[in-house]
Amino acid sequence: MKRKYVNIQPHRVGGGFTLIELLVVIAIIALLLAIILPALEAARRMARRTVCKSNLKQIALGWGLYLDDNDGGFWQGNNANHLFGGWNGTGAWGDPNRPLNQYVSLPPIIETEDGAELFCCPSDTGCIPLMPPQEVAYQYFGNSYQTNLFAIGPTMIGPPGTDFVDLHIAINSRLDGLSLIDVTTNPAIFALVGDNNWIHEWVPFGPINEAWHGKPQYHNIAFLDGHVEFIMVLKGMYVTSEYSILPFRDLHGMARAVQQQVP
């Protein structure tokens, strides 16, 4: 009598996957996502940074046109560092007329956020010192950017300690009515306008601020000569090899001496 052997090997029903095969596929997908997602986020961050740099380039060109029309004089006044361009914002910050708007082909008064996108950094997450963390600069000020306080002052930065008193007195005495002819710092390193939080970054007091572009202490900055760079802005540093906050070259030595006291 011939013996019959029963095949006890597992077989697939309808061509489906076994549990082990499904687990392997899930593991591979998870591994691919772990590799791809950070790269996608980095690409999105770079794209937003590029848009921000383009905005600042146009704003710097607008400042150049404004200065040409006003005999080289910077627009100055209360909160001028925020109110130079953009829309009204929700913070009711003074005169709604934004003087730089007309130099970037926008109406001088914009009552809603639509239409002022040039002044909106796509990475604007707010995180502004002394304000609620959820407050976005573009919403509150109508502008994601700040112009250098030492160009459009008078500065509201008081001396944080005795080491800075003499330097601030020397700076403040020259700010009223500042004109291009008074700016003796090389235009290629004189920081003109940047991300809102760049101002809070270099002041000698207060915390280091959250960066909008994913790299601590780095900000997009437009310089007086019109070029834009993504650079590190250091706490308490008025003058470095990459940038100068000060319009006045003859004060650089005093600033460097004071900076040695910054921890």
Confidence check: pLDDT of 29 > 90: no
Which of 263, 189, 197 lies closest to 226, judged by CA? 189
Residue 232: exposure state from Cβ atoms within 10 A (0-12, 13-18, ≥19):
middle
Confidence check: pLDDT of 200 > 90: no
- For 222, list phi and psi in degrees, rounded to 5: -100, 135
- Name the percent of the chain lying above pLDDT 90: 50
- As a whole number of angstroms, the distance between CA 66 and CA 158 comes to 28
Place of tokens 């953009």: 86
Q: How confident is the model at residue 243 (pLDDT cuts 50, 70, 90)?
A: very high
Mean pLDDT, residues 98-111: 95
Q: How confident is the model at residue 158 (pLDDT cuts 50, 70, 90)?
A: low
Sequence ranges of the domains in the chain: 19-82+121-259
What sections of the chain are H helices per DSSP?
A: 19-69, 80-83, 137-141, 149-152, 162-175, 198-202, 252-259
Identify the bridge partners of residue 193 per DSSP, sorted by sequence position.
147, 222
Predicted local confidence at residue 42, as pLDDT: 72
